[in-house]
Amino acid sequence: MNTSEIENVLRHAPRPLPPAGLKERLEAEATAGRRGSGTSTSKVERGASGWLARWWPVLAPAAASLACAAALTVQQKEIRDLKAALQAAPPAMAVQESRPAAEEQSSIPARDPAGSSVYEEAEIARLKALADNLITEVSRLEKMAAENEHLRKQLAAGASATLTPEETAALEAARERAMSIQCVNHLKQLGLAARAWGIDNGDINPANLLQMTNEMSTPKILVCPADTGRQPAANWSSFTSANCSYEYLAPSAPDTEPLRVMFRCPIHGSLGLCDGSVQMGVAKTHPEWVIQRDGKLYLEMSNP
């Protein structure tokens, strides 16, 4: 027999039949089991609840009494420990505690039979001395307040009224020096801004100042601190030529001329070159070093 014939024989084999009434017997046994388990559970539950209901009036007072007894026992133990600690403490502590009270009582003089007391006289003397000290302190504070007011008036009048001519001249020179240094810092920032713009735009300077506003931190650097006739612009949208103190002399210049003058301050004579360096006050102290060729200004410090 081949495999197909074996499969046909197995498919047509007779199927076994279940015994008669098997389904009804299984259903009856399952129903009886469920009824029995429910009955036993309800009996256990009723028994437990009945026991608690009978003994609860007795158990509740007993539990409360036990809790009270435990609390009393703990408190009595703590009291006994405190008494033992106090009895074990040295007597010197009690002497030290009672000494300030005794000293305080001894410092108070006894009253005399006539009704006046040394204590009252001493208290009056102490109060008089305290009043004298307060009067002295008030006088000192009033004098100090008058001196402070005088100093404030001097400061309000201006420092020049209290300075000598030499001191005033030195102060003015220091002020001019500080503004000149700040002007040099402005020119350095402008030179760096122009070089940064040139790196991104073919190594040439911008055609005008507004082209490199992204490289400048604020419009304030375009105004010399000594220029009292100009005010810095609040922002770049409101910027005009009236808000610039410096002369921009090298628009669109390549970076191949490092000694060419790019910025010039007409107030201090400081020069900002195309290489980013700044020469402080050169145009005023050494004007012969500034050479003009083909309409361009160059710095040649070796020139006699």
Residue 293 lies in a domain: yes
> Is residue 115 included in any domain, yes or no?
no
CA distance readout (Å), 274 to 151, 196, 237: 51, 12, 27
In a domain, 246, yes or no: yes
Element (H, E) at 231: none
pLDDT at 1: 57
Is 270 among the domain residues?
A: yes
Whether the pLDDT of residue 102 is over 90: the answer is no
By C-alpha distance, which of 198, 209, 202, 301 is closest to 248?
A: 209
* pTM value surpassing 0.75: no
Task: With respect to residue 144, please indicate whether it lies within any of the assigned structural domains.
Answer: no
Residue 88: predicted pLDDT: 72
pLDDT of 142: 81
Instruction: Give a yes or no: residue 211 inside a domain.
Output: yes
Q: pLDDT at position 93, please?
A: 47
CB 190 within 8 A of CB 221: yes
> Rounded distance, CA 300 to CA 298, Å?
6
In terms of pLDDT, which residue wins out, 250 or 150? Answer: 250
Are 233 and 242 in contact, with CB atoms under 8 Å apart? Answer: no
Residue 235 belongs to a domain: yes
- For residue 91, is pLDDT > 90? no
214 lies in a domain? yes
Range of the domain at 282: 168-299
Q: Is the pLDDT of residue 56 over 70?
A: no
For residue 92, name the pLDDT band (cuts at 50, 70, 90): very low
Residue 95: which pLDDT band, with cuts at 50, 70 and 90? very low
Split into its structural domains, the chain has a count of 1
**Interatomic CA distance for residues 205 and 208, integer angstroms:** 8
CA-CA-CA-CA torsion sign (6, 7, 8, 13):
positive
